[in-house]
Each structure stands twice: as structure tokens, then as C-alpha cells.
Amino acid sequence: MTIEFGFLISIISAAAAIFFGMAAYERNKRKDIEKNVGSQAGTETKLEIIQTTLTEMKAEMKSDREERRVYNEKIIRNESSLAALHKRVDRIENAMKFVSTPEQGGETH
């Protein structure tokens, strides 16, 4: 049985095509995996940066809330002090109404 030269070349070509096709498929598959891993690492890094930023913002917000609470307490104390001052001023004004200058006919002390 003789195999024709053309038929032998066809079989070898088909085998080589299958081999190189599978090799290219494996290489592309490996490159895709590497690309996805690199992309995933970049995404994880960005997520870590976002997480760090959020943690910092939470700490800042907590600090701002505490500062605002302190300011609110100061405002309440100042308003109370101001109300007491107004009461003292009103008492002084009322006391001065009773003491007037001699030209107005009031008593002098």
C-alpha cells in the first residue's frame, strides 16, 4: 500500500494546524487570565483606596460631630449667660427709672 505524497502532506498539515491551533488557544487563554488577574489587582487596589478614604471621612465626620456638640454646648451656655445679663440690665433700668435727675422731679440719692 503506497500512500500518495499529497495525501501524506495533507495529513501532516492537518496535524500541524490542529497542534498550532491548540497552542495558540492555550497561549491566548493564559494571556487572558494574566490580563484578568492584572485588572482584578488594579480593581482591588482602587477598592482599598476607596475604603481608606471612607474610613478617613468617617473619622472626620465623627470629629466634626463632636466639635459641633461642643459648640452647641457653648452656644447654650452663652445664651443662658446673655439671658442673665439681660435680666441684670432690666433690673438696673428699672432701678434707674425710680432715680431720676432733679429737673424731672424725681428723687436723687
pLDDT, one tens digit per residue, over 18-64 is: 999 999 999 999 998 888 888 888 888 999 999 999 999 999 999 99
Provide the whole-model pTM: 0.48
Provide the number of structural domains found in the chain. Answer: 1
**Predicted confidence (pLDDT) at residue 107 exceeds the cutoff of 60:** no
Residue 68 lies in a domain: yes
Within 10 angstroms of residue 20's Cβ, the number of other Cβ atoms is 10
CA atoms of 96 and 90, how far apart (whole Å)? 10
Type of residue found at 18: I
Residue 104 lies in a domain: no
DSSP class of 100: -
Q: Provide the grid cell at 31.
A: 494571556
Residue 9 lies in a domain: no
Contact 87, 96 (CB under 8 A): no
Q: Which domain holds residue 25?
A: 21-93
pLDDT of residue 34: 85
**Predicted confidence (pLDDT) at residue 79 exceeds the cutoff of 70:** yes
CA angle 38, 42, 46 (to 5 degrees): 170
